[in-house]
Amino acid sequence: MRIGEIDREIEISTFGETRDFIFDSAVYESIHLKIPPTVYPPRRDTEILVEAINRLKGETGFVTEIGCGSGAISISLARRGWRVNACDINPLAVAATRGNAIQNDVADLISVEEGGPGEEKWFIPDNTDLLVWNIPYLLSLDSEASNLGPMEEASLSDRDEQGGWSAFLLEYLEKCRERLPGILVILLLRIDPVSPSKSSDWHRQGWASRCLITERLGDETLEARCFWRPGNGREAELRLTSDSTMDDARMLPTEGWQRLRAVEQKGGRGRSGAEWRSEKGDMTATWSLNQRILKRIDPGLLQTSIGAEIASRLSMDCKWPNDLMHEGEKAGGILLESGSNQESIRVGVGINRYPGEFGGAPTSGWSETIGESEAEVVFRMVDAAIASIAENHSRLPHLSTSELMASTWSNLSRTISTGIIASTKTSEVRITALEKSGELQILDSSVMENCGDVDGILMTF
């Protein structure tokens, strides 16, 4: 801290007053806090993060909170039974959290240290099951930040570097894949206006995610989002060659996050048994999901949602129900199969690396949308996309049908809004909605109807 900043901080700390504050966590009895000057008080963003944490299920364990401030979130976690390791770069916040933990009878569950990401001795303990961080999102040039004390500005400001504090944390965790394979991360992010810290950085590194809460506050939109490594970081089964990953995946276990990837697939098939040709270097893989998922999600919606999510993460378009497109040319596809006597449903995904030609028609590939990436990198992105929808995580709630429909329609409508022409065999139609069955709702003249037949609607890009 520079000399001028020290003088300003001393002035704020000396003449400011410690405030009594009551934080209502909605689930547990009120938390009584004493908040000294320069320490961030609980606000609506704090409540959003606590509400997101309260959506978790399963057993408690060890949690690390970054930027504990007054201790409101750490105390709320401790009341749920979590053992908390908290940190803050502001020494007054450290003292406040310790004192407030004592006042609220949870001091035996909370350990607090001074420091944070970017400091030499800071680290995440090996036993951490959950990490929570209200990511700072002010920029150093924000007018709001200029009215803060140096300690407050440091704790509330995002890094100017590309990716912000979120990217810094992600880079740290990528170096700890073996030490912290199953860690669950919950971040509060500003998504509008876009801040340097973005969930897309995590998706590119193969982290699955689910939105727990989104809320508009004035001219900003905040989102509490959780991130995790699919299958607790366990790698997929890898085959150097495969006639068909869909067939090979029949032998995968029916429980847990199961998937199989082939370096080279010699056969393969598309919808209705159509030929699917793969070149060496393409991404070919199959996921084996327990049939129980169909009790929550209609197979039609599951197929379309997976296609739309993969398309979004690879900067492609999804042609309903399951084709991956780029500028009107097919780049890949998704196929769902199951047997009446089987306990699993298989999700096959094939994506071209490079543009080419098939059956006289030009094709595209991911090299035209996300650039030169190896098949393993693209597999991790696809794996994370499917896990975000379908993985049964021990601590996370399932996506509801309404949540899945909303996110899928958002991705589909992005493609529809580019000006594609949809038509049936008799007339041009307008696509108006997505049904929970995965069918499209279409408007034909003045008649609204559902379309569930892929051959019943033609989309021209």
DSSP-assigned states of every residue in 216-260? EETTEEEEEEEEE-GGGGPPPEEEEEES-HHHHGGGS-SSSSEEE
pLDDT per position as a tens digit, 163-205: 799 999 999 999 999 999 999 999 999 999 998 999 999 999 9
What tokens appear for 248 in the block?
A: 């090979």
Taking all residues of the chain, what is their mean pLDDT, rounded to a whole number?
A: 90
pLDDT per position as a tens digit, 30-66: 999 999 998 989 999 999 999 999 999 999 999 999 9
pLDDT over 90 percentage in the chain: 76
Dist CA 273 CA 340 (whole Å): 18
pLDDT, mean of residues 106-114: 98
DSSP label at residue 203 = H
Q: Which of 328, 327, 347, 326 is nearest to 336 (CA)?
A: 347
Query: For position 151, what pLDDT does the model report?
Result: 52
Distance of CA 250 to the CA centre of its chain: 28
Query: For position 160, what pLDDT does the model report?
Result: 60
Helix spans in 105-223 (H): 143-146, 150-156, 164-174, 199-204
pLDDT per position as a tens digit, 270-322: 666 666 778 889 999 999 999 999 999 999 999 999 999 999 999 999 999 99
pLDDT per position as a tens digit, 124-171: 999 999 999 999 875 554 444 444 555 555 555 555 667 799 999 999
Dist CA 109 CA 128 (whole Å): 14
- 3-state SS, residue 47: helix
pLDDT per position as a tens digit, 202-258: 999 999 999 999 999 999 999 999 999 999 999 999 999 999 999 999 999 989 999
Backbone angles phi, psi at 240, to 5 degrees: -65, -40
Domains, the chain, ordered by start: 3-228 (3.40.50.150), 234-398 (3.30.930.10)
Query: For position 3, what pLDDT does the model report?
Result: 39
Query: For position 158, what pLDDT does the model report?
Result: 52
20 bridge partner residues: 34
- Residue bearing the bigger pLDDT, 353 or 448: 353
What tokens appear for 296 in the block?
A: 């929550």
